Structure 1
Amino acid sequence: MTTVNKRKKPKAGTAPKRHRLLPDEREKQIVLGAIRFFAEVGFDGQTRELAKRLGITQPLLFRYFPTKQDLVDRVYKEIYLNRWNPEWQDWIEDRSTPVAVRLKRFYTEYYPTIVNHDWMRIFFQAGMRNVGFNQRYLRLVRERILLVLCGEVRHECGLPSVATVPVSPAELELYWGLHGSIVYDGIRQYIYGTAVPPEPTAVTNAKIDIFMAGLKPAVARLIKRQAGDGE
């Protein structure tokens, strides 16, 4: 008689054996899962629910990130700091090309960095819960891009240097206006759920052309006011 080998069935209530990840793999799994989780439910989401979604225990999650704030800080580093290209400031300062060309180069790369689901959703969830992402990140944009741009525009237009006449809040606001108009594409798509330009690079370049066309006289007036000479 031929005997047939039968596989042993797991006992009822016994969970299948899980594949154990290496520490670096597990940490990456937690961080990527946290990004998706916070983008979806916001920062009021509980670590217990996050652990459940990841298929791990809450104590295991806390082994990698002892507090929720530690995990939040790691999310900030992953989605904002790690995606920041330090060469962007070098591009803005490159006087071998006109400022408009530098701006187009910068925003061509910056646009896809920020106009995506996780970046936008996390940023606005953080803003609504005062997590602190926004202030840190916008300070980065202000210091490494916009204030640098103020000096480069003045140089190209033959206006007084920033060292001679400091940048006023009103002058800086001009650059925030351009920056905000480009970021708004992401807000429309991932916050409001509406359509964005089918050719974002062409639209962004047009915004820069319009901005640069009226910038010199506007900056000149603001510098004159800042210097105390009146209108």
Structure 2
Amino acid sequence: MALEEPRRPRADATRNREQLLAAATRLIASAGPEPSMRAIAGEAGVGIATLYRHFPTRESLVDAIYRDQVSRLTVGARELLAQFDPPDALRRWMSLFGEWIATKNGMLDTLLAMIESGEIAHAHTRTELLAAIDEILEAGRTSMQLRGDVPAADVAAALIGIFTVAGSPEHTAMAGRLLDLLMDGLRPSAAGGSRPS
């Protein structure tokens, strides 16, 4: 007797899940307290039962958002490199990172509790993000468009610093200026080659 193939999720179920993730991400990234599950369902245009069918708990929803955002950053690095030269790809990736930080801050209480309980491996996420930065830096080193002496961890630390002081919506212009300054520091000197460390 032939084994049955596992059923794929119905198209409307997949669409509902994507709508819920997008709506939750928007609400969580906006200023204010963590939104209620009912508010998220309303924003997605689905009933509360549909939300709980996909995400039985707030933790399961936060976990899905977190993993979705990290995936977008890691996949985003490769996609940006396929479309832009390394400096432009890195600058655009920095903006994606800022969006991730905003989302992360919006669900900080739940996220910290999940990291503490071991439900989310924080170290694994750090490794993935540093690998994404290093992929762009390596392309820039090879093309001699970015300095060869700056590790990914330094870039990540600088980004966290920028979005700590200029991460709120009213500081968007300042964040952009600071990111541009960071990019200027990541380019090789006018004399050519990497700057001395």
**TM band (smaller chain):** 0.5 to 0.7
Is the Cα contact below 8 Å between 1:114 and 1:186 reproduced in 2? no
Q: Which amino acid aligns with 1:120?
A: I
Q: Is the 8 A contact 1:48 1:58 kept in 2?
A: yes
Higher helix share: 2
Identity across aligned pairs (percent)? 13
Deviation per residue, 1:52-87 (Å, 9 max, x gap): 444433222112222322222221233221342376
Q: With the length of structure 1 as denominator, give the TM-score of the two structures.
A: 0.51
Q: Which amino acid aligns with 1:181?
A: A
Q: Name 1:214's counterpart in structure 2.
A: 196
Answer yes or no: is the 8 Å Cα contact 1:188–1:196 preserved in 2. Answer: no
Residue of 123, 132, 139 corresponding to 2:127: 139
Deviation of the 1:33 alpha carbon = 1.0
Offset of residue 126 of structure 1: 4.0
Task: Determine if the alignment matches structure 1 residue 112 to structure 2 residue 95.
Answer: yes
Deviation at 1:32, TM superposition (A): 1.0
Pairing of 1:4-23 with structure 2 (within 5 A) = 22-23=12-13
User: Secondary structure of the equivalent of 2:170?
Assistant: coil
Q: Alpha-carbon deviation of 1:35?
A: 0.8
Q: 1:66-115 CA deviation, whole Å, 9 max, x = no partner?
A: 23222222212332213423765xx7xxxxxxxxx96x355234123223
- Report the counterpart of residue 3 of structure 2 in structure 1: none
Instruction: Work out which of the residue numbers 102, 115, 119 in structure 2 matches 1:121.
Output: 102
Please tell me whether the aligned partners of residues 114 and 183 of structure 1 are also in contact (alpha carbons under 8 angstroms). Answer: no
Is 1:61 aligned to 2:51, yes or no? yes
Counterpart code for 2:103: I
Give the number of the structure whose alpha-carbon radius of gyration is greater: 1
The CA RMSD over aligned residues, in Å, is 4.1
Aligned pair partner of 2:182 in 200, 204, 207: 204
d(CA) in 2 for partners of 1:126, 1:81: 17
Number of matched pairs: 163
In 2, distance between residues paired with 1:123 and 1:69? Answer: 13
The corresponding residue for 1:193 is 170
Q: State the alpha-carbon separation in 1 of the partners of residues 47 and 169 from structure 2.
A: 35
Match of 1:79 in 2: 69
SS class of match (1:70): helix
* Ranges in structure 1 where 5+ consecutive residues have no aligned partner: 1-20, 92-100, 154-171, 216-231
Partner of 1:179: 156
2:91 aligned partner, one-letter code: T
